[in-house]
Structure 1
Amino acid sequence: MQISAADRAKIRHKTGMTPMQSVHGVKALQLGLNAGLERLLVIEGDLAQIHSHIPGAEVLATAGGGAEDPMTLANVGVDRERLAAATLERLKAVFCEVTKLPSGHVKSDAPLEQYGIDSIMITRLNKALEDAFSLMTALQPAERQLSKTLFFEYHSLNELTGYLVERHHRACLLWSGLAEAENRGRVQTQALSRGAAVVANLETIAAEPVATPRLSL
């Protein structure tokens, strides 16, 4: 089950919570096992805002100022063609969600005006894409920012995909899920071989001990 980009943005604005990447969840699980906790609550997002909703929670590990996780991004080797295909798939999903058009009726190389897109719809598309990128908290804030006129500037999904892969390469690695897929096996192997939790630059990992106050979100 997935929620829309707009709903994810609302949850982030209200609670500070963002969807957790699997690579972070694996690290958090290993951390909890080694800490000997009976119960563990793992949340990814803005630490200060989340803490305001969970008073008294003990924080086991936090991010280093939004710095890049080298295992997640720096060492990912994905060829451009594969990344472009995966990015186009995500972009097409956003386009269909906003326009309510069936995926099978949308051609990636067709001019967007072919689908009766007007300025109001383009504004909604830009906002949906901006919301999706704003959730990538592993990136620096500047890397998550997009022009508000992208769907005015690029006239097909193929053109826009090319721009995103070229100018927002790291964001596309995360958005497409390829960074996570490439690193999943590596992270699991390293965590087991070290015999201890490896937690590097997570946005938030919060632990809930046994005596935990009631959550109020």
Structure 2
Amino acid sequence: MGKESSMPLRRDVSAAVAGTALSLGLVCAAALGANASEPYAPPPAPAVGSAIHGFGDVTFTNDYITPRGLLVTNTGLTTQILNGLVFNLYKGPGLISNASLTVGIWNDLWSEQDNPKVGSWNEFDWFVGLNFTIAKNWNAGVLFIQFLSPPGNFRAESNIEFSLAYNDSNHGWPIVPAIRQSLKAGRATRTTSSWELSRLTRSSTTIGPLL
């Protein structure tokens, strides 16, 4: 009776052992299969660069002289604040490798101006422009800018500026020469233009990608 009663128990134990071994085998096979597939898994997609960047600059000085040499103020403290956004519109191979849209504002504050309505707010400018990179080292752009006087010291003036600059930053002493043509529309729809050859300088500080 002992032998007969022990036979079902052995069969049950054998079945349990076999089932356990089969389960372990499946688990190990699945783990090995997963590990084996890891080296062949496609790499994650590269992060997409930001399409919007911000820039800003704050300058403290004892005078305000326009880029063309006009003296506006030379007493007290002048604070000039620039900020704006750059939207990347296109980037790729080809003759035109980059295109961007720039919008921004510029403010001039003069400590010795005590206007009853605007205080020290001396000037407000806003601008919007398109810029293109051509043949890697050439930068072309068109800019619309309007100059406004919050205290009413001068009439509003609007300019359209075309520019072409060469990026020589790969050389030892880059100067980034630029040529600009500025068109000014008068009150009687008269248009005046001027040419300027200068060194292109950048004093703004990038505050990083926004989106």
TM over 0.5: no
Q: Which has the higher strand share?
A: 2
User: Shorter-chain TM-score: what band?
Assistant: under 0.3
Q: Which has the higher helix share?
A: 1
Structure having greater relative contact order (Cα 8 Å, sep ≥ 6): 1
Structure label with greater radius of gyration: 2
TM-score by length of 2: 0.21
